[in-house]
Amino acid sequence: MSVSALLWRTIRMVVTVALMSACSASEYEYLSWRAHTYSAGPIYGKTPQCVGIPEDLRLCHGVGYPDMLLPNLLEHETMGEVKQQASSWVPLVHKRCHPGTQVFLCSLFAPVCLDHPIYPCRRLCEAVRDGCTPIMEAFGYPWPEMLTCDKFPEHDVCISMTPNATEAPAGLSPICPPCDNEMKTDTMLEHMCASEFAIKAKIKEVKRENMDRKVVLQKRKKMIKPGNLKKKDTKKLVLYLKNGADCPCQQLDNLTNQYLIMGRKVDKQFLLTGIHKWDKSNNEFKQAMKILKSYQCPEFTNVFK
């Protein structure tokens, strides 16, 4: 049985019998209910409705329960707003930075239909934050204020991870986030969406600089997606693989290939947010390049503030 199915089974157990012993078999459990902490009347500014989780809500469709409350626990009042905001988090779930990431996010974006809202526990938020922040920082995004862990409960009824669910998932790759799944179309598009510009170029040299890796490109470059990159910036373009001094990146071990190199400017640095071998004989690469111009990226800037 999947983690999401276990979660939904646990929810039903809590609602029907409220026995902590029944929850112990699941990877997730619900802490004690304290009804007196909730005030009378509607919990939201707008009366919540129980609606089906649509298929195109990719973050949470199939999470383990069919319906959700709207408005949700992030005060999104329309399904359109939920979809738009939630889409920005799908790439993070794909990075598998923590086994509880999807459940944590969906408990907020698509909360299960109950009489009272059940928030994620603070320790679940902290575990996901600590596991995923390094991934987010690699792409130049901080942990957002809307998910500040201090706002979530420690002792009231909440979604909590049991110790065996805190282990890293099987098959988790230690590869630097901008370097992983090199020839997967979805990954290339996700990297592109997390980037401001993209170019075709060769690498001149790679150096370690503190905990980062400094990537110096050769002079000859072809602009694929200019973004906010200025001409003067392209002449001696240097990018940094954030926190990537020690993680494997096979693309940076071979300086003879041409690469699709993506990046974005954070403060005064250009971060390397994606690097893929330029290989038009590869079907995944060809597919990514074909749909790149028409691909609708989620608006990360609306979420990661």
Please name the amino acid found at residue 227: G
Other beta carbons within 10 Å of 4: 18
Q: CA neighbours within 13 Å on the CB side: how many for 115?
A: 10
Q: Give residue 235's pLDDT.
A: 82
Q: Give residue 274's pLDDT.
A: 96
Q: What domains are defined for the chain?
A: 3-165 (1.10.2000.10), 177-302 (2.40.50.140)
Query: Binning pLDDT at 50, 70 and 90, where does residue 277 land?
Result: very high
Q: Give residue 108's pLDDT.
A: 96
**pLDDT of 25 higher than 50:** no
- State the chain's mean pLDDT as an integer: 81
Using one digit for the tens of pLDDT, what is the confidence trace for 167-223?
544 444 578 999 998 999 999 999 998 999 999 999 999 999 999 999 999 999 999
Instruction: Report the C-alpha gap between 195 and 139 in whole angstroms.
Output: 8
Question: What value does the mean pLDDT take over residues 4-15?
Answer: 42
Using one digit for the tens of pLDDT, what is the confidence trace for 71-120?
999 999 999 999 999 999 999 999 989 999 999 999 999 999 988 889 99
Measured CA to CA in angstroms, residue 243 lies from 13, 132, 139, 208, 252 at distances of 43, 13, 10, 10, 15
**pLDDT of 32 higher than 60:** no
The residues near 193 (Cβ < 8 Å, ≥ 6 apart) are 91, 295, 297, 298, 300
H/E element holding 209? strand 197-209
Instruction: Report the C-alpha gap between 107 and 287 in whole angstroms.
Output: 34
Which region among 49-58, 180-189, 225-234 has the lowest average model confidence (pLDDT)?
A: 225-234
Measured CA to CA in angstroms, residue 21 lies from 26, 30, 100, 160 at distances of 10, 10, 21, 14
- Which of residues 35 and 203 earns the better pLDDT score? 203
